[in-house]
Amino acid sequence: MTTAHAIADTRHFVRAARQQGRRIGFVPTMGALHQGHLSLMERARRENDAVAISVFVNPTQFGPAEDFDAYPRDLDRDAALAEGVGVDLLFAPRAAAMYPDGATTYVDQAGPIVETLEGAHRPGHFRGVLTVCGKLFHIVEPDRAYFGQKDYQQVAAVAQMVRDLALPIAIVPCPIVREPDGLAMSSRNQHLDADARQQATCIHRGLQAAQACLDAGVSSAAALADVVRQTLLDAGHCTIDYVAIVHPQTLAPVDTVAEPAVALVAAHFGGTRLIDNHLLTPKG
Ligand code: AMP
């Protein structure tokens, strides 16, 4: 595996691969890799001839009061894990290379995909995400890029950007990888103390409870959201940013779950903000 810090070295690597007719799968990450990230890389490995990943804690997607400084970083460990699943290129740019002094161009998107839920609670977040993804796509020029459905809005926003800007990249959404007790894997889970870690399992339990109610014939989105909210509250003190049930493509709120709809949750456990979601699927 090659590790590159410079944009020029990354371009050189991927262009050489493309000249050999190799198709490139790309997995952008912020590092602190876990099995969720590795599942994306393994899939990219199966579906492409070469796999590139990026490890970059992107400052522009964090708000001023968020955890940019505290975000876990361990490039040596990440490199060993990536190499273990057959990654060919790890691109770990310096912030100054991604955002040179005087950079004033950003990718902005409008509409419910970026303005609701995470977009409403984290102003500027998706502008940062889309700007860095746009830039990484231009540097790596992948054939396919792999994103986890844990960040449901993120993959929807990136797919929208790729459509809107006619980028020649297939966006591949990948399933959420969970711990054995259901907690969605996240680099931020390592900030949870033992109590918060135990309590955080309520997110998945709440989402499963909503699915069970839907299976039992409750189709009101408000009632199903209440089931999730109540499960979180029953588990102990946590601050809920939102529980929402929305259309899987438009992300507009739905009243009734007659067709599949996504239930999304964001909540804080002992100072750590976690997100998760589940595709509520009516029987039959
Ligand atoms: P991050 O490093 O948090 O920016 O995540 C990089 C990519 O890994 C994003 O596409 C995430 O959605 C994906 N990812 C993170 N956690 C998981 C997970 N538990 N299961 C599947 N994909 C994930």
Which pLDDT score, from 0 to 100, does residue 129 have?
98
Say whether 37 is catalytic: yes
Domain ranges of the chain: 2-174, 187-275
Q: Does domain 2-174 have CATH number 3.40.50.620?
A: yes
Q: How far is the CA of 220 from the centre of ligand 1 (A)?
A: 30
User: Measured between alpha carbons, how far is 142 from 14 in angstroms, rounded to an integer?
Assistant: 8
Q: What confidence tens digit (pLDDT) does each residue in 119-142 have?
A: 999 999 999 999 999 999 999 999
Average pLDDT over residues 67-72: 95
Asked if residue 211 lies in contact with residue 280, where contact means CB atoms within 8 angstroms, the answer is yes
For residue 277 and ligand 1, the question of a CB distance below 6 A is answered with no
CA distance 31 to 41: 13
Judged by DSSP in three states, 117 sits in coil
The CATH code that applies to domain 187-275 is 3.30.1300.10
Residue-wise pLDDT for 181-203, tens only, equals 999 999 999 999 999 999 999 99
pLDDT digits (tens, 9 = 90+) for 144-171: 999 999 999 999 999 999 999 999 999 9
Ligand 1: nearest atom to the Cα of 33: 2
Share of the chain above pLDDT 90, in %: 98
Asked whether the predicted pLDDT for residue 42 surpasses 80, the reply is yes
Q: What mean pLDDT is predicted for residues 25-54? A: 98
To test the pocket of ligand 1, the residue of 40, 90, 155 to mutate (highest count of ligand atoms within 8 Å of its CB) is 40
Average of per-residue pLDDT values in the chain: 97
User: Which residues face 239 on adjacent strands?
Assistant: 268
Tell how far the Cα of 148 is from the centroid of ligand 1, in angstroms.
5
pLDDT bracket for residue 284 (50, 70, 90): confident
- How far apart (Å, rounded) are the C-alpha atoms in residues 206 and 69? 31
Q: Which atom of ligand 1 is nearest to the CA of 175?
A: 21
Q: Are 280 and 209 in contact (CB under 8 A)?
A: no
Query: Does the global pTM surpass 0.95?
Result: yes
CA of 177 to the centre of ligand 1 (A): 9
Ligand 1 pocket, 136 CB below 6 A?
no
Phi, psi values for residue 206, rounded to 5°: -65, -45
What is the CA(150)–ligand 1 centre distance, in A? 6
Start-to-end C-alpha separation, the chain:
46
Sheet holding 261-269: strands in order across? 239-246, 261-269, 272-280
